[in-house]
A and B are shown apart, each in its own frame.
Chain A
Amino acid sequence: MSKRGAVMLFIMIIGLVVSVIVAFMFPIIAKAYASGNIILKVAAARDIAITIDTIYAYPNDLELEYDVDLSKFDVEISDNVVNVDGAEYGFVPIGDSPNVILNRPKKIVFQKENDILTITGIK
């Protein structure tokens, strides 16, 4: 066997071994990537936006505590969009325009009084 042929064979074997390892790791890597912070950010943004929509639809004053721990993220609620560390979801306010940035809140308190919504983060 020529030297060039031996090198090619060596490269092919390495490539094959790496391919098998990567293919085997596919679902494990994807699940780890998806089940960490990314899914929490996206779910929290949607959850908070729908909570705000629900509060606006409620006819009376209320106070609601959202106790999902978001202390790894900054939560920004402005321009009718909830942004949790880059994950965004829109909501529709009524006669109001909430504008607040919550730094790493452990929980969020929503208070609606006389149709004005106040959002506070608690660490």
Chain B
Amino acid sequence: MKIFNYKKASFVDEWGPWIFFIIAVGVVGIIIVKLANVNVSSGTNIPEGLEDELVLAARFYNSEDCFAYVDDVGRVHPKVIDVNKFTQENMNKCFPQGEVKYAFSLSLSVPRPRTSGPGPPLVLGPINTFNWWPGFERNVVLEDIFIILDGNKIAGNLKINIKNVK
């Protein structure tokens, strides 16, 4: 009775190195593609703070379709916020659902008018974009802006909390 099956042994001897070689070539190919993708990602990286702070957040205080004040003549005043427009409904129009990597939450800090006496500033909000959830914020931006309140233009702050969504 033969204990060792020479046919099986000869198959391993003949094809074993080739199978190992093909697997090695496959692994090398995958590594090359991964390396290339890393190069593509690093070459097309958007600088930190550009897309979220400078580009997307700018609409909140510059666009008439968001919260920017529009005067009687129809001129849009950048960095001037109309308190009457600072609503969640306007936020939903200003920042509709879509494929975006950032979520925002806004609060408006309004100093109390002198006529109402001393006291802490009024805080309006927060109003959030559709993809906002409570918890850790990656970044907080404080913009010095003007606020139109009861026909008066007063200095205030717009606090913009920013999160990465994906």
Do the beta carbons of A15 and B17 come within 8 Å of each other? yes
Chain A interface main SS type: helix
What chain A residues lie within 8 Å of B96 (beta carbons)? 80, 92-94
Docked Cα-Cα span, A93 to B31, in Å, equals 38
Which residues of A15-68 have CB atoms within 8 Å of chain B's CB atoms? Answer: 15, 19, 22-23, 26-27, 29-31, 33-35, 38-39, 42-43, 46, 50, 53-54, 56-60
What chain A residues lie within 8 Å of B55 (beta carbons)? 50, 53-54, 57
B48 at the interface (CB under 8 A from A): no
Which residues of B7-42 have CB atoms within 8 Å of chain A's CB atoms? Answer: 13, 17-18, 21, 24-25, 28, 31-33, 35-37, 39-40
Docked Cα-Cα span, A30 to B21, in Å, equals 21
Docked Cα-Cα span, A80 to B100, in Å, equals 9
Do the beta carbons of B44 and A59 come within 8 Å of each other? no
CB distance from B64 to the nearest CB of A (A): 6
By size class, the interface of chain A is 35 or more
B73 at the interface (CB under 8 A from A): no
Query: Which of B13, B28, B40, B68 is the one whose CB lies under 8 Å from A42?
Result: B40
Which residues of B36-63 have CB atoms within 8 Å of chain A's CB atoms? Answer: 36-37, 39-40, 43-44, 46, 50-51, 55-56, 58-59, 62-63
Known contacts A46-B44, A46-B46, A94-B63: A53-B51 contact under CB 8 Å: yes
Known contacts A8-B17, A56-B63, A58-B62: A38-B46 contact under CB 8 Å: no
What chain A residues lie within 8 Å of B39 (beta carbons)? 30-31, 33-35, 39
User: 7 A-B Cβ contacts within 8 A?
Assistant: A15-B24, A33-B33, A33-B39, A56-B59, A57-B56, A88-B99, A91-B98
Task: List residues of chain B with CB under 8 Å of any chain A CB.
Answer: 13, 17-18, 21, 24-25, 28, 31-33, 35-37, 39-40, 43-44, 46, 50-51, 55-56, 58-59, 62-66, 68, 76, 78, 93-96, 98-101
